[in-house]
Amino acid sequence: MSKKKSKKEKEEVKRKEEVKAKVRYPKYLYHIILLGLCLSGMAALIYEVAWTRLLQLVFGTTVYAVSTMLTAFMAGLALGSWLVGRYTDRIKNHLFAFCLLEAGIGIYGILLIPVFSVLPYSYLSIFQAFHSSFAFFSFFQFLLCFSILLVPTTLMGGTFPVVSKIYTKRMEELGKDIGNVYSINNLGAVLGSFAAGFLFIPFIGVRNTIIAAASLNFFVAILVAILSRERKGMIFMSSFCIILLLGVAMPGYSYDVKILNTALYQRADVYASKEDLEAQIEDLNVLYYEEGLYGTVAITESKSHGIRSLMLNGKADASTMRKDMTTQLLLGYIPLILHEHPKKVLIIGLGGGFTLGAAENFDDIEKIDVVEIDPLVVEAEKYFSVYNKNALDDERVNLAIADARNYLLTTDEKYDVIISEPSDPWISGACSNLFTKEFFELSREHLNEEGIFLQWVPVYDVSVSDFRTLLNTFSKVYNHSTLWTATDEGDMLFVGSNSESPVKMNYTRLEKYRSKKEVRDDLEGIGIRDNDEFLAKTFLMSEEETKGFAVGAPINTDDKPVIEFSAPLSILVHADPDIRGEISRYKIGVRRPFYVPPLKGLEVREKNVSRLAFMGLNVRLVDAWKGEDFRLMVNKTYKRIEGGMVIDLGVWKEAEYKSDSNSGRLKIYASTQPASPSRVQVANILGVSPRELEQGMVGVDGYPAYFSHDGNAESESLTAVWFCEDNSHLYIAEITCPEEEMEGILSGFECLSG
C-alpha cells in the first residue's frame, strides 16, 4: 500500500509541477504570444497570395492549377501541424521553438524568390513527359508545387501546436485556450489575405510583398527570442534577420519576369527543349511590367520580329502579330458593318485597343463605352497607341474600370452593338463567367431592338465538344445566331441578334466604309482586298447550320460551368481540335457540295474581275467577254467526301457577265486537290452519271475539261471541271450562255503557278 501511495503522490507532484510550469509566464506575455501568432498567420496568407500569383505564371490560371497550388499549401500546413504536434511535449523551450519556426519561415520565404525563375524549366520537363495523361501530369505538377512549398508551409503548420502548448495554462480551460489561439490565428489570416491582395501587391509588387511577409516573421522571431531569455539566440537571430533583409533589399534579388511571361502553361508544346525556351527568353524585351489587384500585366516585344504583345498573367491577350491583328480588327468591323445604323457601342475588354480603334472608323457611331476590369491594362495601352491610332483619345469613348457583368447589372444603357472580347473561357473566375448562358442573357437585355452581340471564342484552346457547348449556349439565347471566323488558326466569332428578321450582310455599308482610307488600309493589312473577300474569309455558318451543329450539346451556366472544368484539358493535351473539319463534315450532310449563301444582299458591283486571283485564277478579258460590269457573290464551302476522295471546295464566286450578244451567268469553284480527278470522281462531284460527261473541250491553259450540258438550245448550261497542275487546284465552272461562247469564256481564265 505504501508503494502505491508513493506512486500516486509522485503523479500528483508531477501534475502540480506541470501546472506551475504552465503558469510561469507573466500575463502580458500571453498577449504578446497571441500578437505574434496573429502576425504569423497574417504573414502566412500574404505568402499564399504572393506565391499563388507567381505560380500562376508557371502553372496557369485554370481551376485545376489553382486547386493544385492551394492543395500543396494546405498539405504543408497539415503536415507541419501533425509533425510538430506529435513531438511538442519533448520541446524544452517552446518560446525559442516558436522563434526558430518564425525565423525559418522568413528565411525560406526570401530564399524562394529567385527559385520561381527556375521553376518553368521543371514544368516544361513534366509537361513533355506526362502531358498526354491528365492524371499523371496533375500528380507530378502537384509534387513540383509541393516540393517548393514544403519547408515553409510545414514550418507554418508547426507554429499552431507550439503556441497552443505555450498558451494553454490549465487543462480545465484547454478548449477555451485553444479557441483563443485558433481565432487569433484566423484573424491574422484574414488580415493577411486582404492586405496582400488589396494593399501590398498593388502598391509594392509581389517581390516586396514577400519581403514584407518575411519581415513580419523576423519581427515575431526577434520579439519571441527576447522573451525566451535566450541571450545568444536573441543576438544571433536579430543580426541574421537584419543582414538578410538588407541583402534582399537590393533590386537585383528577384525573379526573372521574362521567363514568367512566356505563356509556358499555354504554349509548352512549342518548346522542344530547354534551349528553345531560353532562345525565346533571349528574344524578348520587357517594355512594361506591373503587378496589380487583378493580376500581372506586361508588354513584351520580340527582338527578331518586332511583335509587341500584351501579357496578362503570363499569357498573350493582344498583340501586333498579323493573325492577332486580323481578329482584333474584325471584332470591330464585322458587327458594325452588319448593323445598318449603330449609334451606341459597348466593348467588353480593352486589350490593345485595336477593336476600339476599328470601331472609331465608323462616323455614325455617337458613343463607345469600353469596360475594362484591370486599370493596369489601361495604363499599358499607351504602348499600342501608335497601332490603334490613339484610340482612347476619341471624344466618343467612355472608359469604365469595372467587371463586365457588374457593369451590365448596374447600368440602364442599351446598345446597338455589344462586342465581348474577354480573355479565354478556361481562365477560372472573372473570365469563365463571361461565356455562360446567364451572361449572354444579361447582354441581350442591354441590346436595342435591332441590336447585335458578338462573342469572341478562341477555338484553338477548346475541344470540339466544348465548342459545341459554347455555340449551343449562345444559340439558345439569341434566335438569330451565325458563326464567323477571324483567322484560319482558330479565332471564331459568334454573332447573335433577337431582331425580327435575320442579320443581313450590308454590302452597301461595306462599300461605303471600304472607300474610307483608314478602313481600307486596315482590311488590306489583314489580307482582305475587296468586298467579296470580306465575306469569303469571315462567314462560316448560317442560323440553321449553327443551331443544327450545336444541337444536343450541354449548356454552360453559372451553376454548372462545364467549360471552366473541361476546357483546361484541351490546353494540356494540345491536340488539334479539328473544329473546322467537324463543321465541314456536318455541312456535307445537310448541303449540296456547292454551298448556297444563306444571307441575303450579298451582291456587290465589281469591275475588276482579276480579283478572282485569290482563288488561284487570273482572269483576262477576251473577245467573247467584253463586259466590264459584273455582279459577284462570294462564300465558303467545305469538304465533300466522294468515293473515298476528300474534295475541299474552298471558295466560290458567281459573276453575271455581258458579251456582245448575250448576257449570262458564270460560277467558278476552286478547290485544293492532291491529284487530277478521274471521270468517275468528277461525275460524283457533279452528281451525274459518268457516261453523261463529255471530255476534250479545252479548259484553262490547255488542260482538258470534263463537262456536261443541261439546258435548252437557246441558252445551255455547261458545267466544266478541270485540274491545274501548276497550282494543284481543281476548278469547277458553271456557265449559262450560248454554247459557242463557252470555250471563249473559259479561255479568259488562266491558272496561277505556285
Tell me which H or E stretch contains 650. strand 645-658
Work out the angle between the directed axes of helices 322-338 and 507-514 (0-180°, nearest 10). Answer: 130
Domain boundaries, the chain: 19-248, 266-316, 320-589, 604-751
User: How far is Cα 84 from Cα 87, in angstroms, rounded to an integer?
Assistant: 5
Mean pLDDT of 612-632: 43
User: How far is Cα 118 from Cα 278, in angstroms, rounded to an integer?
Assistant: 11
User: How far is Cα 391 from Cα 322, in angstroms, rounded to an integer?
Assistant: 19
Mean pLDDT of 267-271: 80
- pLDDT for res 381: 96
Mean pLDDT of 288-311: 94
In 49-86, which positions are buried (b, 16+ CB within 10 angstroms) versus exposed (e)?
A: bbbbbbbbbbbbbbbbbbebbeebbebbbebbbeebbe
In CATH, the architecture of 320-589 is 3-Layer(aba) Sandwich (3.40)
User: How far is Cα 380 from Cα 310, in angstroms, rounded to an integer?
Assistant: 8
Mean pLDDT of 329-357: 96
User: How far is Cα 739 from Cα 482, in angstroms, rounded to an integer?
Assistant: 40
- pLDDT for res 745: 64
Task: Kindly report which listed range (61-70, 430-439, 590-599, 683-692) carries the lowest average pLDDT score.
Answer: 590-599
Tell me which H or E stretch contains 675. none
Does 661 have pLDDT greater than 60? no
User: How far is Cα 142 from Cα 187, in angstroms, rounded to an integer?
Assistant: 28
Our measurement of the distance from residue 451's CA atom to the centroid of its chain's CA atoms, rounded to an integer in Å, reads 26
Residues 6+ apart with CB under 8 A from 314: 56, 57, 58, 260, 261, 262, 263, 264, 265, 296, 298
Residues 6+ apart with CB under 8 A from 153: 72, 73, 75, 76, 77, 79, 80
Residue with cell 490560371: 61
CATH fold of the domain at 266-316? Spermidine Synthase; Chain: A, domain 2 (2.30.140)
Tell me which H or E stretch contains 161. helix 134-167
The residue among 293 and 660 whose pLDDT is bigger is 293
Does 421 have pLDDT greater than 70? yes
Residues 6+ apart with CB under 8 A from 98: 33, 36, 159, 162, 163, 166, 220, 224
User: How far is Cα 54 from Cα 291, in angstroms, rounded to an integer?
Assistant: 10
Task: Kindly report which listed range (24-38, 78-92, 675-689) carries the lowest average pLDDT score.
Answer: 675-689
Burial of 378 (0-12, 13-18, 19+ CB in 10 A): middle
Mean pLDDT of 404-431: 92
- Is CATH 3.90.550 what the domain over 604-751 is classified as, yes or no? no
Residue 563 corresponds to which cell in the numbers above? 467549360
Determine the residue type at 401.
I
Specify the pairing of strand 397-401 against strand 367-372: parallel
State pTM to two decimals. 0.77
User: Nearest CA to 627 among 590, 657, 670?
Assistant: 657
Mean pLDDT of 52-59: 94
- Is CATH 1.10.10 what the domain over 19-248 is classified as, yes or no? no
- The alpha carbons of the chain give a radius of gyration, in whole angstroms, of 34
Answer yes or no: are the C-beta atoms of 671 and 729 closer than 8 Å: yes
Determine the residue type at 165.
K
- pLDDT for res 452: 97
Answer yes or no: are the C-beta atoms of 719 and 686 closer than 8 Å: yes
The residue among 188 and 23 whose pLDDT is bigger is 188
Please provide the DSSP assignment of 558-626 as one string.
Answer: SSS-HHHHHHHHHHHH-----HHHHHHHHHHHHS-SSPPP-SS---EEES-GGGGGGGTEEE---TT--
Specify the pairing of strand 645-658 against strand 630-636: antiparallel
Mean pLDDT of all residues belonging to the chain: 80
User: How many Cβ atoms sit within 10 Å of the Cβ of residue 722?
Assistant: 26
pLDDT digits (tens, 9 = 90+) for 736-749: 666 666 666 666 56
pLDDT digits (tens, 9 = 90+) for 646-657: 344 444 455 555
Burial of 741 (0-12, 13-18, 19+ CB in 10 A): buried
User: How far is Cα 603 from Cα 595, in angstroms, rounded to an integer?
Assistant: 16
Answer yes or no: are the C-beta atoms of 618 and 749 closer than 8 Å: yes
Specify the pairing of strand 480-485 against strand 491-497: antiparallel
Residue 47 corresponds to which cell in the numbers above? 505568402
Work out the angle between the directed axes of helices 579-590 and 543-550 (0-180°, nearest 10). Answer: 110
Could you tell me the end-to-end alpha-carbon distance of the chain, in angstroms, rounded to an integer? 111
Does 624 have pLDDT greater than 60? no
Task: Kindly report which listed range (274-288, 403-417, 614-628) carries the lowest average pLDDT score.
Answer: 614-628
- pLDDT for res 223: 86
User: How many Cβ atoms sit within 10 Å of the Cβ of residue 303?
Assistant: 10
Residue 98 corresponds to which cell in the numbers above? 516558436
Residue 643 corresponds to which cell in the numbers above? 468515293
- pLDDT for res 131: 84
Residue 648 corresponds to which cell in the numbers above? 475541299
- pLDDT for res 371: 98
